[in-house]
Amino acid sequence: MNKLLTLACTITFLLSIGQVNSSRQPISFQLSKISKDIAVERLADFELTEAASADAEDEKKGELPKFSRSIFTDITLHNAGSWISLANGDRLWRVKIVSPGAQALLLYYNQFYLPPGSTLHVYTEDHEDIRGAFTSVNNPRNGYYATGLTHGESCIVEYYEPLRVKGQGILSLNEVGHAYRWVNNLFPTARGGSALGFNQSDACEVNINCAEGNDWQNEKRAVSCIIVQSQQGQGICSGTLINNLREDCTPYLLSAQHCSEFVTANQYAQWIFHFNYESPDCNNPNTLGTLDDDFVVGCTKKADSDDNGGDTGSDFLLLELNEQPPADYNVYYAGWDAALTAPSGGVCIHHPEGDIKKISEYQQSGVSTSWGGSSPGTHWRIKWVISTNGHGVTEPGSSGSGLFNAAKKLVGTLTGGDSFCSSPNSPDFFGKMSYHYTLNGNTANTQLKPWLDPDNTGTTTVGGKNADCFTSITHPISSKSSYEIFPNPAQNFCSIRFTEGGKKNIIITDVAGRNVMVQSTEQSQVSIDLGALTAGIYFVRVNEHCQKIIVE
């Protein structure tokens, strides 16, 4: 028994999981007599011609293509929507948001606080597209948040608030992304119908679970499709979780600097990272289903090349996710090699056009070159080869994706190029890992090395790692702790009273060692919502102390 308790309290220093609880359906779905009349907020008309003009300017300047542009709003719990009081005193708030002609909607918040026990869902009227439940564990650090993409020109936002926390919720939806192209082919691109989104990449692309991906099943788990939020609208990039020399599962993600142009610090908190967005086999699925359900919201920028997208450097962007990807996402932290050796073969794993995960192969050595021309030796020039199931290339949305060498280590990130299905032998250009490492500048915010080698070991390569960092630091049940849990056993709620001041990181795990709840506080006492947990034994770690709690 002692061995089990020690394992269950095996925790890393990482502040982690604010997982979306997709098993909790909207409360209204369970109420047969609830009114179907929902207050409507119709957004300002979207000017497609203005968007097209902005797209032309983006292309002229070489900026990240947008598939969605923002309509600014002021929708709160107090000035929009309608409230319904339930028989037990709980309340339900709903609003229907409509932006005529939109292929999809993306909701962005500048204030977002869900009190314990409350839930938030965003869904389409046919209930085919449901985001949530978002709960108190999803509360962002700075109030800025995003709840993902729903298809179609309308969606319903539903907030449920228990009586015991009445009036405590805060929601301010200040921006709605109106997706006007590339989610489906209603508005085909100039390249003749290629469109961003599910099943919309070009026909020559190869799914990651075709034979070409058999030897890359670990590395694929590191790859994410990113919905970028910026001052100019929303775009798509790819990125890769990357290991560091401490191998402590710090959730660093590597992408391209040009993906982050015109992004404010607050907007990084609204980036959305989709993992495991892939076909289960070699075929393109007919329906999206749950393929895009695994996502994490928010990040902070740690470093970038500060080079206008590769004009004078290697075009890299290093992010740290605000949430550790949940254990059931089964992510992987890719290895890397910052040596100068040219890669002689390998793959790129990416999300072209924001589609499901694809793989492209190369067999010739990368050629040292540059992207902008002013600094030599910043990029690898790569040409793709035909394979069993296609001729993988890159497309918009692939930007920032990782180039792996034959040793399955990252050696570059995609800036751009001329490869298309119509010209698959044209080259693409990847910023070198060796240049990212120390050569874009002299400070930590322009280099990878300070983050990937924080102990300054001088090592320039590391292998990949499963997200099994629970095994790195063991904390047995503490005989003396700096906090008290009551009541214990508990049902829907418990409280934690602290005997020490300062900031406390609270992490709750189940008996398998999986994080189920995380929050931070500087208060002397906090209330913990246990409503989402099934009955059983859990372990509460606060800083260096670990205690057991029974949930009934």
Q: Does 485 score more than 80 pLDDT?
A: yes
Q: HEC states along 388-441?
A: CCECCCCCCCCCCCEEEECCCEEEEEEEEECCECCECCCCEEEEEHHHHHHCCC
- Give 316's pLDDT tier (boundaries 50, 70, 90): very high
- Give 8's pLDDT tier (boundaries 50, 70, 90): very low
Strands 409-417 and 335-337, how do they pair? Answer: parallel
Lowest mean pLDDT among 387-396, 452-461, 527-536: 527-536
Q: Where are the beta strands (DSSP E) in 162-316?
A: 170-179, 223-230, 233-241, 252-255, 272-275, 295-297, 299-304
Closest CA to 349 of 400, 298, 299, 315: 400
Both tokens of residue 380? 């690898």
Lowest mean pLDDT among 107-116, 219-228, 247-256, 468-477: 468-477
Strands 91-98 and 40-42, how do they pair? Answer: parallel
Higher pLDDT, 287 or 124: 124
For 172-226, the pLDDT digits (tens) are: 999 999 999 888 643 333 333 333 467 778 999 999 999 999 999 999 999 999 9
pLDDT, position 349: 98
For 255-302, the pLDDT digits (tens) are: 999 999 999 999 999 999 999 999 999 999 888 777 888 999 999 999
Are the C-beta atoms of residues 237 and 256 closer than 8 Å to each other?
A: yes
Phi/psi for 429 (5° steps) reads -130, 125
Are the C-beta atoms of residues 533 and 551 closer than 8 Å to each other?
A: yes
In the chain, the domains with their CATH numbers are 2-16+477-551 (2.60.40.3080), 35-179 (2.60.120), 211-458 (2.40.10.10)
Mean pLDDT along residues 45-57:
93
Are the C-beta atoms of residues 383 and 346 closer than 8 Å to each other?
A: no
Q: Write the single-letter amino acid at 301.
A: K
pLDDT, position 511: 65
Q: Does 374 score more than 90 pLDDT?
A: no
Closest CA to 219 of 449, 411, 430: 411
Q: Which residue has the tokens 């001041």?
A: 501
pLDDT, position 473: 32
Residue 452 CA, distance from chain mean position? 20
Sign for the pseudo-dihedral over CA of 9, 473, 217, 146: positive
For 378-435, the pLDDT digits (tens) are: 999 999 999 999 999 999 999 999 999 999 999 999 999 999 999 999 999 999 999 9
Burial readout 87-122 (b: 16 or more C-beta within 10 A, e: otherwise):
eeebbbbbbbbebeebbbbbbbbbbbbbbbbbbbbb
pTM for the whole thing? Answer: 0.81
544 CB burial (10 A radius; 0-12, 13-18, 19+): exposed
Are the C-beta atoms of residues 108 and 70 closer than 8 Å to each other?
A: yes
Mean pLDDT along residues 440-455:
96
Sign for the pseudo-dihedral over CA of 469, 475, 476, 482: negative
Q: Write the single-letter amino acid at 415.
A: T
For 87-106, the pLDDT digits (tens) are: 999 999 999 999 999 999 99
pLDDT, position 547: 84
CB-CB neighbours of 430 under 10 Å: 30
Mean pLDDT of the chain: 88
The most distant pair of C-alpha atoms in the chain lies apart, rounded to whole Å, by: 70
Mean pLDDT along residues 470-494:
68
The percent of residues in the chain predicted with pLDDT above 70, rounded, is: 90
Three-state secondary-structure class, residue 141: coil
Q: Give the angle 140-238-452 at the CA atoms, nearest 5°.
A: 75
- Give 360's pLDDT tier (boundaries 50, 70, 90): very high
Among 206-215, 370-379, 482-491, the range with the most confident prediction by mean pLDDT is: 206-215
How many angstroms separate the CA atoms of 147 and 141, rounded? Answer: 15
pLDDT, position 16: 35
Residues making up the chain, counted from first to last:
552
How many angstroms separate the CA atoms of 46 and 117, rounded? Answer: 37
pLDDT, position 474: 36
Q: Does 14 score more than 70 pLDDT?
A: no
How many angstroms separate the CA atoms of 329 and 289, rounded? Answer: 17
